[in-house]
Structure 1
Amino acid sequence: LTAWHALVKNGGLTASQTILVQGTGGVSIFGLQLAAAAGARVIVTSSSDEKLERAKQLGAKDLINYVRTPEWHKEALKVTEQQGVDQILEVAAGRSLGQSIETIRPGGKIAVIGILDGFTSEIPIFPMLQRQVTIRGMVTGSRKMFEEMNEELEKSQIRPVIDTVYSFPDALEAYDHLYRGAFGKIVIRVRP
């Protein structure tokens, strides 16, 4: 629902847009699926080539390993011929938020949905003003959005990518897996 809220409801997702999703966790992978289903161009960043290849199978057009390319924003600009991207699902914050501002096209939107890189960010003010960037903190969404999303998922046949399902007694292991990094969602089954 967070990805739907950010990309569709707030960002007006269309096929003509270029979307950048950071990482391969649940919200980012779902954002990739939504954007690809809409016909948008999707750029995915990750520290894992294996996960990037899996993202490509889900419809990602451009793949950036941010360990090999710490200045990933420059690569994103390069693959968009210096045009930048329309929307970013920003999961890292910290230093990454400044890189997102450098990557966004004029009038673009950055949905901040995570804080993996820190609770504070230094951001470049001039590019933010010059590009008239919208930065919005984003959490889940309303029940109405949830219902609209489910209708669209039924039509498009998008299914969530589940990395691993844990039983409730193994919930701590599930959280450890989440912190190590997942490809898609980590699920904890409450009932046997």
Structure 2
Amino acid sequence: MAHHHEQDHEHGSTLSPMDLRVRALESILVEKGYVDPAALDALIETYETRVGPHNGARVVARAWVDPDFRERLLADATPAMRELDVGGRGGEHMVVVANTPEEHNLVVCTLCSCYPWPVLGLPPVWYKAPPYRSRAVIEPRAVLAEFGLSLPPETRIRVWDSTAELRYMVLPMRPPGTEGLDEAALAALVTRDAMIGTGLPRRPEIRA
């Protein structure tokens, strides 16, 4: 095991400092018998493949093509999401706010890092970081610019503060040029950052 780590250092690790800390903690817990590796792998696989931003993306895509669903979603998001079997622990009480040409929404949790895991998957590291949690409220336009999102000066920015009881998701505007796409293709354009408000959906021509 030690030799393996030496090889990693020699060739340079692509893991971030946070990833390295998580790996080290995981190794200690497994070695001491506190965590079953198989159970840990199953949990990670669940959040990566079955619970993730693609759940929220399905909700957004449905709202883009179904005006009645969009209306229900914005009026009472939790039961509307359940229509698509989206929600659960950590996403029991959801509010969806819609971007418009006049207003852009941004979600933060200023107290800790409350986040709708069943809807958006694993939270990004920056979402939990103190700089984002404090600056998103004080200077949201500057924060968005650092994410590469520069909005027109006339666009209002509204910041929503998630809590343990209530969590928010942004309904981004549908990109132009997507009129002929079905729901699955539209969902593939929806990014996690677009549903937090720090980004926009992909354009069809640059879809990964």
Q: Which has the higher Rg, Structure 1 or Structure 2?
A: 2
- Please tell me the TM-score bracket, short chain as reference: under 0.3
The higher-RCO structure (CA 8 Å, 6+ apart) is 2
| TM-score normalised per structure 1 | 0.22
| TM-score normalised per structure 2 | 0.21
- Structure 1 or 2: more helix by fraction: 2
